[in-house]
Amino acid sequence: MLKNIPYIIFDADPFCFGPISTTLNVVEKLKHRNKLTSDTKFILLGTLTSSQLGQKSGLFDEIYECDTTSATELSRYSELISGASLYIINTNLNSIDFVSKFNTSIIYIDTLFWMWDNLHVDLHKTEKTFIQDFHGIERNIERFHDKLGNYQVIPPILHNSLQQCMMDDYPPEGILITLGGIDTVYADTTDFYYHFLKELLSIPQLQNESNITIAGGGKTIVNLAEIFAKTHPHIHIGCFSRHDFLQKLHRARKVLANPGLTTFYECITLHKDVFFLPPQNYSQQLQLDVYLQNYYSHEYGFLWQPEYGYPDIPPYLPEKDGLALIKKCNDLFINNPKERKRAMNKISQFLEKEKNNANYCHDIFQNNSGDIIADYIENSISNQKLQYIT
């Protein structure tokens, strides 16, 4: 498809914001460093939030609609994949086996390694695996050590503009509600957020707030924007570019956020006063439990807990089982007025309080993971050229 032109394919698991957000951080880093040859093309295979944010970024030369968790869909791009200089996968274990059938070198980035119940792919099939640090990765490194191959644990993959945002002395204003990617290929999207937002926007603090932004990704955020435009025309709802989102996050007086890992890292880096909304997928539930135990008190998040009538959600479940439990929690919540009221009361109390001084742990943000990954990519491409010459 791209004869005699070097190109790199990026594949971010279409699962909320994390994989595509961190992928965009790496791509932007590569472009900023400008060490690859000027004719190197950047291609994204993706769907839902991945392709949506990819398009917003303007970083890719080509974006092809593809559910990269499906070997059938990937097979449509076999020729493209076979000719790539590198195939870079972010948190999508499903595509490794398919891509490994070609001579294309694979670099794998895993932002959720800490939570896998099973590693069904042998990572020796990758040239390099980067594991993003988080509570619990040590256990899985020990469990899956025979399958890891050449791996490296790296700090959180954060966006360069976070440092720039921190120097912005713009006065805090308004409230940001960030819902994450919402849609995923792993489960049907429910109408949870429609019911939740309808209830949330009716609490007095938000009724009286003139500056509210609701951010999210996927088709659902477009539908929510259309629905609430009729009843709440003053609220800005949409999918924003990384730069615009981080600027809105930095300038928000208060943040109501999905418990995604990338969102957490960004909030804690920017010292945001944040309340974490009810988890919408399995990893968010496990992550929120960690946040509330290690960084925030329990008044700064709404966790699904057995003492309030929700099923127990243990770690290391198969993803399908974890998602089923989360859906059950969503249904119980939507159909229980008492629980809806408890959630709104917690959020109301959060919005009324002065800024929370969370127990920030800066040691995990010391190094720039974007540079670590970019270094490896550039060296890998360079080594390929040397092998070709010899």
Taking residues 130-137, report their average pLDDT: 92
Phi then psi for residue 304, to 5 deg, are -75, 115
**Tens of pLDDT along 194-237?**
888 889 989 999 988 889 999 887 677 778 778 777 888 888 98
pLDDT given for residue 182 in this prediction? 59
Provide the residue type at 240 as one letter: F
Expressed in angstroms, the distance from the first to the final Cα of the chain is 26
**Tens of pLDDT along 280-292?**
889 899 999 999 9
Query: Contact, 295 vs 359, CB < 8 A?
Result: yes
What is the rounded distance in angstroms from the CA atom of residue 183 to the CA atom of residue 197? 16
pLDDT given for residue 212 in this prediction? 92
What is the rounded distance in angstroms from the CA atom of residue 38 to the CA atom of residue 364? 34
Percentage of residues in the chain with pLDDT exceeding 90? 53
**Tens of pLDDT along 283-323?**
899 999 999 998 898 899 999 999 999 999 999 998 889 98
**Tens of pLDDT along 149-184?**
999 999 988 877 676 666 667 777 899 999 875 555
Q: How confident is the model at residue 185 (pLDDT cuts 50, 70, 90)?
A: very low
Q: Distances from the Cα of 180 to the Cαs of 27, 197, 256, 258, 280, in angstroms? A: 20, 14, 11, 6, 10
pLDDT given for residue 231 in this prediction? 80
- SS3 per-residue string spanning the chain: CCCCCCEEEEEECCECCHHHHHHHHHHHHHHHHCCCCCCCEEEEEECHHHHHHHHHHCCCCEEEECCCCCHHHHHCCHHHHHCCCEEEEECCHHHHHHHCCCCCEEEEEECCHHHCCCCCCCHHHCCEEEEECCCCHHHHHHHCHHHHCCEEEECCCCCCHHHHHHCCCCCCCCEEEECCCCCECCECCCCHHHHHHHHHCCCHHHHCCCCEEEECCCHHHHHHHHHHHHHCCCCEEECCCHHHHHHHHHHCCEEEECCCHHHHHHHHHCCCCEEECCCCCHHHHHHHHHHHHHCCCHHHECCCCHHHCCCCCCCCCCHHHHHHHHHHHHHHHHCCHHHHHHHHHHHHHHHHCCCCCCCCCHHHHCCCHHHHHHHHHHHHHHHHHHHHHC
Looking at the predicted structure, is the pLDDT value of residue 364 above 60? Answer: no
Q: Whole-prediction pTM value?
A: 0.86
Q: Is the dihedral of CA 27, 30, 36, 38 positive or negative?
A: positive
What is the rounded distance in angstroms from the CA atom of residue 350 to the CA atom of residue 335? 24
What is the rounded distance in angstroms from the CA atom of residue 171 to the CA atom of residue 194? 31
- 26 or 360, greater pLDDT: 26
Taking residues 257-261, report their average pLDDT: 92
pLDDT given for residue 186 in this prediction? 47
pLDDT given for residue 366 in this prediction? 54
- 36 or 239, greater pLDDT: 36
pLDDT given for residue 141 in this prediction? 96
pLDDT given for residue 221 in this prediction? 77
pLDDT given for residue 189 in this prediction? 54
Looking at the predicted structure, is the pLDDT value of residue 386 above 70? Answer: no
**Tens of pLDDT along 71-129?**
999 999 999 999 999 999 999 999 999 999 999 999 999 999 998 989 999 999 999 99
